[in-house]
């Protein structure tokens, strides 16, 4: 097993630099039919997938399931508004780490208060504010990844040469995974606390709400 660790790190850092969210101005201001929605999402988010040639960003079945599970308000006359698109983008980013129940808990107050309200207090303003943090966050992530990479290079110094490369790579992946694990745990704890405060009669983390989002 031979991996150029410097090339690997550079590739990771370069890929982070290519991550871009969908700009608010790029989201159509006119209502779209479902086929137009899936085409738009495919075009804008395809590069964020692991296998761009194979992975599907959004399908009709997914959109229908989101509406059935109250993640997304129903379309009006089979058309989806700009606010629908914004919610679908949020769902796309959340679904890789959160259950359908957690996403529902997180988005419900957002939808109830900001969906189709327009003006400066609408969903567009929430979207713009949240994603304005992206550039600073990417820079922090790069620094964190480089630090973990350098730490991993100092592990397993006494391992046999034929094993050292893999073990150091394993250390690097483990540190990254632990970081994801802790942040995911923190997010779930906050959502559970929020769910408890919003619905004291319901117990957070109920099994039926913990299925993963397609």
pLDDT at 181: 96
Residues 6+ apart with CB under 8 A from 172: 148, 149, 152
pLDDT at 214: 63
Residues 6+ apart with CB under 8 A from 86: 27, 123, 124, 126, 127
In this structure, is residue 113 part of a structural domain? yes
pLDDT at 199: 65
In this structure, is residue 196 part of a structural domain? yes
In this structure, is residue 148 part of a structural domain? yes
Q: 205 — alpha (psi -120 to 50), left (phi > 0) or beta? A: left
pLDDT at 203: 46
The boundaries of the domain holding residue 135 are 5-209
Which residues does the chain have with pLDDT short of 70? 1-3, 119, 199-214
pLDDT at 103: 95
In this structure, is residue 173 part of a structural domain? yes
In this structure, is residue 119 part of a structural domain? yes
User: pTM score, two decimals?
Assistant: 0.84
In this structure, is residue 214 part of a structural domain? no
pLDDT at 128: 92
Q: State how many domains the chain has.
A: 1
pLDDT at 139: 85
Angle at 214 between CA 70 and CA 194, to 5 degrees: 50
């Amino acid at each position: 097993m031979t991996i150029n660790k410097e090339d690997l790190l550079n590739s990771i850092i370069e890929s982070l630099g290519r991550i871009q969210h969908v700009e608010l101005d790029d989201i159509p201001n006119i209502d779209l039919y479902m086929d137009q929605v899936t085409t738009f999402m495919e075009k804008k988010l395809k590069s964020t997938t692991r296998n761009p040639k194979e992975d599907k960003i959004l399908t009709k079945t997914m959109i229908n399931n989101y509406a059935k599970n109250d993640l997304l308000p129903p379309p009006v006359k089979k058309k989806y508004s700009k606010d629908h698109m914004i919610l679908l983008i949020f769902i796309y980013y959340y679904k890789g780490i959160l259950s359908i129940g957690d996403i529902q808990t997180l988005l419900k107050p957002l939808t109830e208060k900001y969906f189709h309200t327009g003006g400066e207090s609408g969903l567009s303003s929430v979207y713009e504010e949240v994603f304005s943090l992206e550039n600073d966050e990417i820079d922090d992530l790069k620094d964190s990844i480089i630090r973990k990479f350098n730490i991993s290079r100092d592990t397993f110094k006494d391992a046999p040469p034929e094993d050292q490369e893999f073990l150091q790579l394993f250390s690097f992946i483990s540190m990254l995974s632990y970081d994801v694990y802790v942040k995911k745990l923190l997010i779930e704890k906050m959502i559970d606390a929020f769910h408890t405060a919003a619905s004291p009669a319901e117990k957070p983390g109920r099994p039926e709400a913990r299925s993963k989002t397609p």
